[in-house]
A and B are shown apart, each in its own frame.
Chain A
Amino acid sequence: MTISHQHQQNSIRAWLKKLEPAFYISPAFIVLIVILVYPLGYSFWLSFHKWTLRTFKTEIPFIGFQNYSDLFANQEFLSSLKITVTFVIAALIIEFSLGMFLALLLNHELKGKGIIRSVILLPMMCTNVVIGLTWRLLFNYEYGIINYYLSTINFPRIEWLSSPDVALISVIIVDVWNTTSFVTLMLLAGLQSMPEEPFEAARIDGASSLQTFLYLTLPLLKSTILVALLWRVIDTFRIFDVVYLLTAGGPARVTETVSIYIYKYGFQSFNLGYASAASYFMIVILLASAGFLARALGRSD
């Protein structure tokens, strides 16, 4: 074997060694490119075209920014955006306050913590369709048990899902039930990983528990809160299943979130170019809020 031959073999080996990570990592990424990146590129293309169930077999005409300009001129779209933002803000404020309260409580209470933790884990794992329908049964105006027990304490029956004034609140209640467990468990994990020394020092200095919470616990929990917030903002913003099963966006569109709006245009009117434009707008909002929170997280670490 000549020296140059051996040299060549070594360089091939070095080259193969460099490619080794690709052998492990690329299969997952190749599949994701085919089933996710390509379709998303396709829907970007679609968002500049007119796709309807009647015409798509013969032609899909290019219409420029028409879908996007229609979108921003559409009152219903703008109102669905407003509803979604209201929903996100209201639900998150309640979930984080309640979640913080429960996490602090569980952090002290030691007895039976394992069981409590398993039980509060359950709502977030449940099938959303079943959750939506179960609450629809509970909220039923005439026969639901919530209204029944309200009436036994002389409280008027409430049109939980059929009154335009109340429906959004009812949907928020269900979301709070469904996801406060997630917030609680995350905050609890954050609380339990905190160092003990600063808290002892605070106790020795005679800090009140409110002071300790505001000036020690909250700042130390900041990155946990931001991670939880990141997931919750994203998940609440794109909510579909539970709302769809509870109200299908009604009554009078007061619970029509952006996802439901797109669903209606895409899969009831089959105007898929328009639906693509709307989903791209939604993607931009979600990426921007995720980026914003991730940057805040990066700075707090």
Chain B
Amino acid sequence: MALSIAPILYLLLTSFKDPKLTFSIPPVWIFSPTLQNYRDVLAGTEFIKYIGNSLFVALASTFIAVSLGSLAAYGFSRFKFRGAFWLRMSVLIPQILPPIAIIVPLYVLFNGMDLIDTKTALVVSYLTFTIPLAVWMMIGFFEDVPAELEESAMIDGCTRLQALIRINLPIAAPGIVATAILCFIYCWNEFLYAAILTGRVSRTLPVTITSFMTNKAILWGRIAASGSMVLIPVLIFALIAQRYLVRGLARGSIK
């Protein structure tokens, strides 16, 4: 258990060290903390802009995926129709495909549409994994909502769509939030697509961190500071949604 967070703690610790102390031998454990690394990273407007990019791309992709995903998951949980089982299973296939195989054609197509280095391209490419994840995860949460509730609402004159919005969404809300958190984390963490599709304009944080490895030197202090800034929201979100994530794991719907 200690081992599982030791590297994370070491990174946090390093981010508060004076850059000169990063590699001191023997390692220093007690030192007067400095915000120098954070100041270096945040100096200039670029890093702030890339935080904005990361937020925008992750939020947009999550929002679209959760909206489309709730509709589809509701559909799967409430209707029996021919081929439903196989259609439902087909949602798992995108989760099996290797990202590198998806990004090769997406790169060529975005290149043809002059969309390289745009946030649009990145949002679209992230939907390839957030939509299947959202559909698959939320089917379980919607199945937990008893059908009687919305049936009685529909007898009272609600349409099905109104019943979905007024009854199912509020009851399934914690599950939906957990799904959104997971989608957000996956987008926020994503590196491969971002490394290929973005440049100076639409770069996201994981790519930005690697830019502190220059040809001349690896700026470990800045890597630690920017890395910590990227990790902290993830860790907070993961702890908030912990119970649902573990439940999703147990059902085999998250990995």
Contacts and interface: CB of A to CB of B under 8 A. Distances in A.
B98 A36 contact: no
A262 B45 CA distance: 35
Nearest to B234: A125
A153 interface: no
A32 B4 contact: no
B127 A185 contact: no
Nearest to B74: A24
A279 B227 contact: no
B105 A40 contact: yes
B37 to A, nearest CB: 13
Interface residues on A, range: 35 or more
B19 interface: no
A35 B227 contact: no
A120 interface: yes
Given A35-B128, A148-B27, A46 B105 contact: yes
Interface string A218-257: 0000000001000110110110110011000000000000
Interface in A138-152: 138, 140, 142-143, 145, 148, 152
A73 interface: no
Contacts of B69: 28
B217 interface: no
Contact of A121 (B7, B10, B227, B238): B238
A235 B76 CA distance: 27
A145 B81 contact: no
A27 B68 contact: yes
B108 A51 contact: yes
Contacts of A23: 75
Interface in A111-126: 116-123, 125-126
Given A186-B250, A290-B96, A31 B127 contact: yes
A275 B103 CA distance: 10
Contacts of A235: 255
Interface string A145-163: 1001000100000000000
Interface in B1-50: 1, 3-5, 7-8, 10-11, 14, 22-23, 25-27
B204 to A, nearest CB: 10
A212 interface: no
Nearest to B129: A36
Contacts of A266: 100, 104, 107
B96 A234 contact: yes
Contacts of B1: 116, 119-120
Interface residues of B, number: 79
B107 A267 contact: yes
Contacts, number: 229
A130 B206 CA distance: 8
A81 B6 CA distance: 33
A204 to B, nearest CB: 29
Given A21-B81, A27-B71, A238-B98, A135 B7 contact: yes
B242 A121 contact: yes
Given A189-B246, A279-B104, A231 B234 contact: no
Contacts of A39: 102, 105-106, 109
Interface in A46-98: 46, 51, 56
A20 interface: yes
Interface stretch (A4-12, A164-172, A195-203, A280-288): A280-288
A290 B96 CA distance: 8
Contact of A263 (B100, B108, B231): B100
Contacts of A18: 81
Nearest to A179: B255
Contacts of A238: 98-100
B52 interface: no
B85 interface: no
A18 B79 CA distance: 10
B98 A259 contact: yes
A296 B26 CA distance: 52
Given A31-B131, A127-B234, A279-B98, A143 B71 contact: no
Nearest to B188: A127
Contact of B104 (A43, A142, A286): A43
A131 interface: yes
Nearest to B89: A294
Contacts of A227: 252
B245 interface: yes
Nearest to A45: B105
A160 B200 CA distance: 33
A263 B99 CA distance: 10
Nearest to B229: A130
B171 interface: no
24 contacts: A18-B81, A25-B75, A28-B68, A29-B87, A51-B108, A56-B108, A119-B1, A119-B4, A120-B4, A123-B5, A126-B235, A128-B191, A128-B206, A137-B220, A137-B224, A138-B7, A143-B23, A143-B25, A185-B246, A186-B252, A238-B99, A244-B191, A272-B108, A287-B93
Q: Nearest 4 A-B pairs (CB), nearest first?
A: A24-B75, A189-B250, A279-B101, A43-B105
